[in-house]
Chains A and B, each alone.
Chain A
Amino acid sequence: AQSVAQPEDQVNVAEGNPLTVKCTYSVSGNPYLFWYVQYPNRGLQFLLKYITGDNLVKGSYGFEAEFNKSQTSFHLKKPSALVSDSALYFCAVRERRGFQKLVFGTGTRLLVSP
């Protein structure tokens, strides 16, 4: 069965510094991988996804993620954090074969301090 791990409940970073939110996954075969962000009292907003091809995926709001098959990771990164990036970030994975549900990690709270 597919699964996602987000090992950090919270990540703290100062504004202007680079940020990384970690995600590792477990699937049979190759995965589809997604990152979503949730602001308080809002729904999930799509940031980016990995389908195939280039391992570095660029998404919304300056975020990017790198697919690493050998480490089964899909870490979210941003070169320079903004206070407004403070939110809850979810990694999600789906297997490619047949219908497979989208499985979400437990979420990582990002706190960017001024």
Chain B
Amino acid sequence: DSGVTQTPKHLITATGQRVTLRCSPRSGDLSVYWYQQSLDQGLQFLIQYYNGEERAKGNILERFSAQQFPDLHSELNLSSLELGDSALYFCASSPGLAGGQETQYFGPGTRLLVL
């Protein structure tokens, strides 16, 4: 158990809908990262937050957005969902103080199925 929690575990929804995925980082970690894992794209970095502020963006679609709250939990919002958004979404966290050498610890993921 990494100490990173994600809810829900599974999500089934329809095209055009909007969903929110939630992540609680390990105790004390200030950085939160979101990743998308799909069969055709592999594991792709989406976005990083550090202590409530957006730190870096990766291959995140404009239909997707995220935020990190004062209690450091984070939410990833996916809107106008398409079939291709079906994937496993991971959250990871790290202390956020030591830069690129830090280990990111991953949550169990949320499996999203768009029908």
Contact of A51 with B55 at beta-carbon distance under 8 Å, contacts A43-B108, A43-B109, A104-B43 already known: no
- How extensive is the interface on chain B, given as a class? 20 to 34
Is there contact, CB below 8 Å, between A45 and B56?
A: no
- Assess whether A96 is in contact with B100, with CB atoms less than 8 Å apart: yes
Cβ–Cβ contact B43 & A32, under 8 A: no
* Closest partner residue, chain A, to B94 (CB atom): A102
Q: Tally of A-B residue pairs with Cβ under 8 A?
A: 50
CA distance A104 to B104 in the complex (A): 12
Per-residue CB contact flags for chain A residues 85-114 toward chain B (1 = under 8 Å, else 0) read 000001000111001111111110000000
CB closest chain-A residue, reference B109: A43
Report chain A residues within 8 Å CB of B33: 102
Measured CB to CB, the closest approach of chain B to A98, in angstroms, equals 9
Chain B residues contacting A49 (CB-CB under 8 Å) are: 101, 103
CB pair B55 A99 closer than 8 Å: yes
Q: Are A43 and B2 in contact (CB under 8 A)?
A: yes
Q: How far is the CA of A46 from the CA of B1 in the complex (A)?
A: 11
A99 to B48, CA, bound (A): 11
Does A44 interact with chain B (Cβ within 8 Å)?
yes
Given A36-B106, A105-B42, A106-B42, 15 further pairs, Cβ under 8 A: A32-B100, A43-B4, A44-B43, A44-B90, A44-B106, A46-B103, A49-B101, A90-B43, A101-B45, A101-B48, A101-B56, A101-B58, A103-B45, A107-B42, A107-B43
